[in-house]
């Protein structure tokens, strides 16, 4: 029986190793096939847990709305959704960026401002799941963020690769409201991930929260 089980076991281990090494290329090929076959992108948004987000940009024309403490989310709360049609990103945004939030979707650094507050918002996502499409991001790409109080759009204007502890890359010194999206770099497996791809997008529509 060793002549049966051993080859099977060794083959399984070999397949796993090959899959692990080639997974980025397999994913890329799958994405290309999806575009060719005009399949819609699979969304990571769990519809069963989606709160009452304003999916229509009715408040986009309003310049400002009064801020309310109710808008400030609890740690771990699902409080927004982020979309980029060109890249096929459709993710839940959680307030907080522990491994729990990052495993479920995009996590926001709780020390950054909430959408519409006029401050920098820092969003992190795994490079193999939520933010995998960031590998193909381009200047001009538009991200839409739906919250329970308004809808916002942000346009990408820059991107940079920097170390994980390069404070200058976080964008806190911006004079305008921006989102800084980051994910581990490079996008290949079995690498050392001391660097991040930082993508910057400035707010182009959505009401300012007066406070």
Residue for token pair 């771990």: 76
Nearer to other proteins, 65 or 110 (CB): 110
CB-CB contact of 163 with 194 (8 Å): yes
Kindly compute the dihedral angle of the four CA atoms of residues 155, 170, 126, 106, in this order, to the nearest 10 degrees: -60
Of 36 and 190, nearer to other proteins (C-beta) is 190
Residue 33 or 161: which CB sits closer to other proteins? Answer: 161
Whole-number Å distance between alpha carbons of 81 and 9: 43
> Whole-number minimum distance, CB 35 to other proteins, in Å?
25
**C-beta of 44: minimal distance to other proteins in Å?**
15
What's the min distance (Å) between Cβ of 65 and other proteins?
A: 13
Instruction: Compute the half-sphere exposure of residue 18: CA atoms within 13 Å on the CB side of its CA.
Output: 6
Q: How many residues does the chain have?
A: 211
Residue numbers at the binding site for other proteins (CB under 8 A):
2, 6, 9-10, 13, 16-17, 20, 67, 69, 72, 74-75, 97-99, 102, 107, 109-114, 117, 119-120, 122, 124-128, 131, 164-165, 167, 170, 172-173, 182-185, 189-193, 196, 211
Q: Please answer whether residues 138 and 197 qualify as being in contact, where contact means their C-beta atoms are separated by less than 8 angstroms.
A: no
Give least dist CB 187 to other proteins, A: 8
- As a whole number of angstroms, the distance between CA 208 and CA 204 comes to 11
Q: Which residue's CB is nearer to other proteins, number 38 or number 173?
A: 173
Which three-class secondary structure state does DSSP give residue 205? strand
CB of 16 to other proteins, least distance (A): 7
Residue 164 CA to residue 24 CA, distance in Å, equals 22
The Cα angle at residue 55 between residues 50 and 61, in degrees rounded to 5: 145
Nearer to other proteins, 7 or 140 (CB): 7
Nearest approach in angstroms of CB 8 to other proteins is 10
Q: Which is nearer to other proteins, 97 or 141 (CB)?
A: 97
């Amino acid at each position: 029986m060793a002549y049966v089980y051993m080859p099977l076991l060794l083959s399984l281990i070999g397949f796993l190793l090959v899959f692990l090494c080639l997974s980025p290329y397999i994913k890329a090929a799958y994405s290309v096939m999806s575009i060719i076959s005009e399949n819609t992108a699979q969304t990571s948004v769990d519809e069963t847990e989606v709160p009452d987000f304003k999916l229509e940009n009715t408040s986009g024309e309003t310049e400002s709305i009064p801020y309310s403490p109710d808008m400030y989310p609890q740690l771990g709360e699902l409080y927004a959704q982020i979309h980029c049609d060109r890249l096929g990103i459709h993710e839940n945004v959680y307030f907080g960026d522990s491994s729990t939030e990052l495993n479920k979707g995009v996590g926001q650094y709780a020390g950054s401002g909430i959408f519409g507050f006029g401050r920098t918002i820092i969003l992190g996502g795994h490079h193999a799941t939520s933010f995998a499409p960031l590998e193909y991001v381009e200047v001009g790409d538009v991200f839409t963020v739906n919250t329970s109080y308004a809808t916002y759009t942000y346009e990408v204007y820059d991107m940079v690769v920097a170390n994980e502890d390069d404070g200058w890359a976080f964008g806190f010194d911006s004079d305008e409201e921006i989102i800084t999206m980051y994910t581990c770099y490079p996008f290949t497996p079995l690498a050392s991930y001391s660097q991040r791809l930082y993508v910057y997008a400035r707010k182009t529509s959505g009401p300012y929260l007066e406070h």
